[in-house]
Amino acid sequence: MGVFNYKDIYCEMKELIRHILREQVTDKITKPGLVYKITFINGKIYIGQNTERNLKFRDPFYVGSFNKEYVYEDLSNSGWDGTSFPVISKEILWQSDNTTINEVTKKEIEYIKQYKSTNPQIGYNQNRFKSY
């Protein structure tokens, strides 16, 4: 019998519950939203989304909600010493003043596929949904 990785099972269950809860409200609530691309000093990218009213993405020091421990370790392995800001650029790929969370998530997935940012050689996106 195989060994269970309870952390992975917990994370998968948590994402499934979040996905179900989102489906119940995400097609009904409209708000501003955007999909963005962050490029790090090692050339790798992260694709993310923001659907908050204040669009905190516009804050010059906001760098998304990626797995910071993983990214910073990878950057350190690439020679980053932690004394400089590790982001080269932030770019808005898509935005809308009146959208649903589902629409923003679909756009985010499209761009993640387009840029292949789940490939560890290219980017820092992790497979949150099995569909990409």
pLDDT digits (tens, 9 = 90+) for 60-100: 666 677 788 888 899 999 888 888 888 888 899 999 988 98
Beta carbons of 109 and 102 less than 8 angstroms apart:
no
Q: Under DSSP, is residue 12 helix (H, G, I), strand (E, B) or coil?
A: helix
Q: Is the residue at 67 inside a domain?
A: yes
Q: Confirm whether 121 is domain-assigned.
A: no
Whether 12 is covered by a domain: the verdict is no
Q: State residue 115 phi and psi, 5-degree precision.
A: -90, -5
The predicted model scores a pTM of 0.70
Residue 59 lies in a domain: yes
- Whether 77 maps to a domain, the answer reads yes
Measured distance CA(31)–CA(71) in Å, rounded: 30
What domain count does the chain have? 1
**Structural domain for 60, as ranges:** 29-115
Tell me 14's DSSP state. Answer: H
Domain membership of residue 50 (yes or no) is yes
For residue 64, being part of any structural domain is answered with yes
pLDDT tens-digit readout, 40-64: 999 999 999 888 755 565 666 666 7
